Amino acid sequence: MNKEFKRIDGRKLDEIREIKAKVGVIPNADGSAMFQTGKTIAIAAVYGPKKMHPQHSQDPAKATLRCNYNMISFSVKDRIRPGPSRRSTEISKITEWALEPVLILDDFPNMVIDVHINILQADAGTRCAGINAASLALAQAGIPMKKLISSISIGKLDKTLVVDLNKAEEDFEEGEGPTDIPISMTEDGKITHIQLDGKITKEELKKAVEMARKACKKIYEVQKKALKEATK
Amino acid sequence: MSERKVITPGEVIVSGNDYLPGDGTEKRGEDIVALKYGLAEEVNKLIRVIPLSGVYSPRRGNIVIGKVENLLLNGWVIDIGTAEDGFLSITEVPRYVNKNALDEVLNIGDMVVLKIISINKRGIDLTLKQRGLGKIEEGLIVTINPHKVPRVIGREGSMIKMIKEATNCSITVGQNGLVWIKGDKINDEIFAKKAIEFINKKPYLDGLTEAVEKFLKENKNE
Amino acid sequence: MTEKMTSPKIVGERIKEYLKEGKRFDGRKPEEFREIKIETGVSQNAEGSARVKVGKTEILVGIKMNVGEPYPDSPESGNIIVTAELLPLSSPRYEPGPPKFPAIELGRVLDRAIRESKFIDLKKLCIKKGEKVWTIFIDVYSINDDGNLLDAANIGIVAALKTARIPKYDEKEDKVLFGELTNKKIPLSKEIPLSITAHKIGDNFIIDPTKEEEDLSETRITVGSTGEHICSLQKGEIAPIEIKELYEVLDLVEKTYKNIFKKIEKFLK
């Protein structure tokens, strides 16, 4: 690893951007939260457990988790035409897979828990911010959960591993280019979501996962604090 | 563990083999771990988590306030804010019901005070066979966080009694977070509504009784 | 709470009784707005933005601009496109999916108020006649729906447009340099268009209903005006109104416009 590597915004290699988290931001929802990492802002709202329609979609063994991720049109510099995209459909599913392992869904057969995530502002790491916000919203909605889920993106810029890429770093062009690894895990290190695109050796990937573990622990502390402060 | 503390899912509440896991908790090895976000409480070594937010969890014996959603051949489907439907059978109404004129007793859209007699696979069974239950003819309905209901009722009903006296209204609190207020004057009903909303907004601190007393005194002459 | 647990009939009776005495549950007069909070510049990537809270109702508005060809029938004019989305996160009543009628109506009624009032000077958005003009995209999102999204959204649109700045446009490359803003503001008229909706409940009209009140609305009339002139009208829902009631609404809206304008003036600098 190149110790002299300087990040564009001056952060240390393992430094996460400034995080802001707040719970209960949408009065109508059963649970809601805002999670901000640097300039990326995600809000999530949970409605449920509630009756599932249509009836034939109901699962008699447990509640169905439905996640819906979308970026608003002006979350990015180049306006996004309203409506779902293949990317948002994939991220919606990834989010479900990231959260479901910790939810105790068999308490609610035939019901549905809807999680709506909107990205208000994007500066990379949007799916991670969405998962972090959703995790808080689910807890606030009183959904029984074995643990919270924390999510972060590890990047490799040419040969240097860094924590929490921003957009400028995602667009990195030199050397081996950027590699982006979003990971979600529980506070005791169980991975519920991992994706990768780029070019990386096995050893580097192992290191990246270690860095993610440490970063997720920090994110977990912020999430816990947001929940505890909401009661004041 | 002496005080109630705010706990989050996955956090260890206490450690030690003489503690037992109650509602909202799970035993992992020697630890009692929270499975819900709320207040962790210990009563005689039984640890449980009292949720602060989220939807209503129905329990047998709960008094609830619901809205008639549908008429079936043998009863009414009632929405009490739970995912499963509530069902009131004709046999659970303490008066004669003409099978061909169910709507004369309760029609779609009517608000009713009921009691939960059982919770099973089919849904939630309700009854009107108890004093104080029945159709709501008029008044105000206020919706609050169902988890705040114990605070609105108070220990042995002390809080709700205080509000009833100060506002001169009769008040029925549904465990599902709906509250029915009936007074002689609309102003009295609005006063009671404000008092209940005041409690609903307050965080979980002590001194609630004094705060409510103060609120009732200050807002008396509206 | 499930969607069906809203405004039971008996509450409706009380609301109507109270209105006869000119009162509302939260102590407001029939023509009074809830507390309005406005924040502008809340979005980094938009050219202009605003977050508006009216009571518990919250909406977010973003202004994006781009350069393209003008419409053939208006070769010297820029364009406005207003889109509204009722986000599922803002209410248990909204589902994901393509916009349904309420969102479509919301967008169109807002569009009419902004467009017909000539608030935006479209001719000044022309870069090269017949070839290149600016298009202004006004995107409205509901964040929490506690009634009266429309009036709140209009306030947001005005605040966002007022504080927006035009991005740099590289004429040679025919590229808008998003993120690089000039000091130029969008050319706007001095007359501010606001939409104010009056709802009929029983025999009375109210302004700025909460969701509970909105559920009881038998018919609603949205008046888009600049104070001086009325530039758009929309009657929605089923109940008919007498002609004198329409005039009553117009008077009510005129009065309300002045009150609202006073409250939001400072955010429109």
The answer to whether residue B57 is domain-embedded is no
- What average pLDDT does range C109-120 have in this prediction? 96
Residues A46/A30, Cβ–Cβ less than 8 Å: yes
Statement to judge: residues B146 and B209 lie in one domain: yes
pLDDT for C204 equals: 92
Cα separation, B24 vs A63, in Å, equals 17
Statement to judge: residues B11 and B44 lie in one domain: yes
> Which segments within chain A are labelled E, that is strand?
19-23, 31-37, 40-51, 64-71, 111-121, 150-157, 160-163, 178-185, 191-194
The answer to whether residue B207 is domain-embedded is yes
Chains touching chain A through at least 3 C-beta pairs below 8 angstroms are B, C
Q: Is the pLDDT of residue C198 over 60?
A: yes
Q: On the CB side of A148, how many CA atoms lie within 13 Å of its CA?
A: 32
Residue C128, C-beta contacts closer than 8 angstroms, at least 6 positions apart: none
Cα separation, C142 vs A105, in Å, equals 29
Statement to judge: residues B130 and B167 lie in one domain: no
* Closest residue of chain C to A73, computed from CA coordinates: C139
Q: Is the pLDDT of residue C2 over 50?
A: no
Statement to judge: residues B72 and B9 lie in one domain: no
pLDDT for A3 equals: 55
Whether B79 has its CB under 8 Å from any CB of chain C: the answer is: yes
Statement to judge: residues B178 and B211 lie in one domain: yes
Chain A residues with CB inside 8 Å of C180's CB?
A: none
- What average pLDDT does range C247-268 have in this prediction? 91
Q: Note whether A28 contacts C91, CB cutoff 8 Å.
A: yes
Q: Is the pLDDT of residue C1 over 70?
A: no
The ipTM of this complex is 0.93
Domain extent, residue B39, equals: 5-51
Chains touching chain C through at least 3 C-beta pairs below 8 angstroms are A, B
Whether B81 has its CB under 8 Å from any CB of chain C: the answer is: yes
Statement to judge: residues B41 and B98 lie in one domain: no
- Cα angle: A39, vertex A43, A46; to 5 degrees: 160
**pLDDT top residue among C115 and B83:** C115
pLDDT digits (tens, 9 = 90+) for B154-202: 989 999 999 999 999 999 999 999 999 999 988 899 999 999 999 998 8
* Helix extents (H) in chain B: 102-105, 149-153, 158-167, 186-201, 208-218
Kindly report the number of other CB atoms within 10 A of residue C236's CB atom. 15
The answer to whether residue B212 is domain-embedded is yes
Residues A5/A96, Cβ–Cβ less than 8 Å: no
Chain A residues with CB inside 8 Å of C98's CB?
A: 83
Question: What is the length of chain A?
Answer: 232
Chain B residues with CB inside 8 Å of A110's CB?
A: 83-84
pLDDT for C62 equals: 98
pLDDT digits (tens, 9 = 90+) for A53-68: 888 888 989 999 999 9
Q: Note whether A120 contacts C139, CB cutoff 8 Å.
A: no
Copy the structure tokens of residue B63: 């008094």
Q: Which of residues B85, B101, B136 is at a domain's end? A: B136
pLDDT for B2 equals: 58
Query: Which of B6, B51, B55 lies nearest to residue A49, judging by beta carbons?
Result: B55
Residues B179/B196, Cβ–Cβ less than 8 Å: yes
Q: Which of residues B114, B136, B158 is at a domain's end? A: B136
Distance from CA of B67 to the nearest CA of A (A): 16
Residue C192 backbone zone (phi > 0: left; psi -120 to 50: alpha; other: beta) = beta
pLDDT for C6 equals: 55
* Closest residue of chain B to A187, computed from CA coordinates: B10
Cα separation, B195 vs B189, in Å, equals 10
* CATH value at residue B212: 3.30.1370.10
Domains annotated on chain A, with CATH: 19-229 (3.30.230.70)
The answer to whether residue B69 is domain-embedded is yes
Statement to judge: residues B69 and B117 lie in one domain: yes
Kindly report the number of other CB atoms within 10 A of residue B203's CB atom. 9
Residue A140, C-beta contacts closer than 8 angstroms, at least 6 positions apart: A23, A24, A30, A31, A32, A33, A46, A227, A230, B37, B53, B54
In chain B, how many domains are there?
A: 3
Residues A203/A194, Cβ–Cβ less than 8 Å: no
Report how far apart, in Å, the C-alpha atoms of B165 and of each of B115, B191, B197, B220 are: 25, 12, 17, 11
Cα separation, C56 vs C110, in Å, equals 21
Whether A60 has its CB under 8 Å from any CB of chain C: the answer is: no
pLDDT for A178 equals: 86
Report CA C165 to chain centroid distance, whole Å: 20
Statement to judge: residues B130 and B145 lie in one domain: no
pLDDT for C3 equals: 44
Question: What is the length of chain C?
Answer: 269
Copy the structure tokens of residue C213: 């009140």
Residues A181/A153, Cβ–Cβ less than 8 Å: yes
Instruction: Give the pairing type, strands B20-21 and C219-225.
Output: unpaired
Q: Is the pLDDT of residue B221 over 70?
A: no
The answer to whether residue B172 is domain-embedded is yes
- Cα angle: B60, vertex B61, B63; to 5 degrees: 120
Query: Which of C44, C88, C98 lies nearest to residue A116, judging by beta carbons?
Result: C88
- What average pLDDT does range A96-115 have in this prediction? 95
Q: Is the pLDDT of residue C228 over 90?
A: no
The answer to whether residue B56 is domain-embedded is no
Kindly report the number of other CB atoms within 10 A of residue B213's CB atom. 12
Cα separation, A93 vs A100, in Å, equals 11
Cα separation, C83 vs C104, in Å, equals 8
pLDDT digits (tens, 9 = 90+) for A169-228: 988 888 888 899 999 999 999 999 999 999 999 999 999 999 999 999 999 999 999 999
Report CA C138 to chain centroid distance, whole Å: 10
**DSSP 3-state assignment of C9?**
helix
* CATH value at residue B116: 2.40.50.140
pLDDT for B1 equals: 56
Copy the structure tokens of residue A92: 């919606």
The answer to whether residue B128 is domain-embedded is yes
Statement to judge: residues B199 and B148 lie in one domain: yes
Query: Radius of gyration (Cα) for chain B, nearest Å?
Result: 20
Which residue in this structure is represented by tokens 């709506």? Answer: A116
pLDDT digits (tens, 9 = 90+) for C73-100: 999 999 999 999 999 999 999 999 999 9
Copy the structure tokens of residue B48: 């449980």
Query: Which of C1, C5, C10 lies nearest to residue B138, judging by beta carbons?
Result: C10
Whether A125 has its CB under 8 Å from any CB of chain B: the answer is: no
Kindly report the number of other CB atoms within 10 A of residue B100's CB atom. 8
pLDDT digits (tens, 9 = 90+) for B83-116: 888 999 999 999 888 888 899 999 999 999 999 9
Whether B206 has its CB under 8 Å from any CB of chain A: the answer is: no
Give the residue from C147, C151, C60, C71 showing the smallest Cα distance to C109.
C151
**DSSP 3-state assignment of B138?**
coil
Q: Is the pLDDT of residue C122 over 90?
A: yes
pLDDT for B86 equals: 95
pLDDT digits (tens, 9 = 90+) for B50-59: 998 888 989 9
* CATH value at residue B38: 2.40.50.100
Residue type, C47: E
Bridge partners of residue C169, in order along the sequence: C176
Residue C146, C-beta contacts closer than 8 angstroms, at least 6 positions apart: A27, A28, C55, C56, C57, C210, C211
Report CA A6 to chain centroid distance, whole Å: 26
> Which segments within chain B are labelled E, that is strand?
5-7, 12-15, 20-21, 25-28, 31-34, 38-43, 46-51, 63-71, 75-79, 86-89, 111-120, 123-127, 134-136, 140-143, 169-173, 178-183
The answer to whether residue B203 is domain-embedded is yes
- What average pLDDT does range C118-124 have in this prediction? 96
Copy the structure tokens of residue A208: 């990246």
* Closest residue of chain B to A113, computed from CA coordinates: B83
Residue type, C151: D
Whether B123 has its CB under 8 Å from any CB of chain A: the answer is: no
Q: Note whether A82 contacts C145, CB cutoff 8 Å.
A: no
Cα separation, A196 vs C242, in Å, equals 65
Copy the structure tokens of residue B182: 């009936």
Residues A67/A73, Cβ–Cβ less than 8 Å: no
Mutate to test the interface with A, among B25, B28, B37 (most CBs of A within 10 A): B37
Chain C residues with CB inside 8 Å of B177's CB?
A: 1
Q: Which of residues B110, B136, B162 is at a domain's end? A: B136
Residue type, B157: G
Domains annotated on chain C, with CATH: 9-268 (3.30.230.70)
Cα separation, B66 vs B84, in Å, equals 13
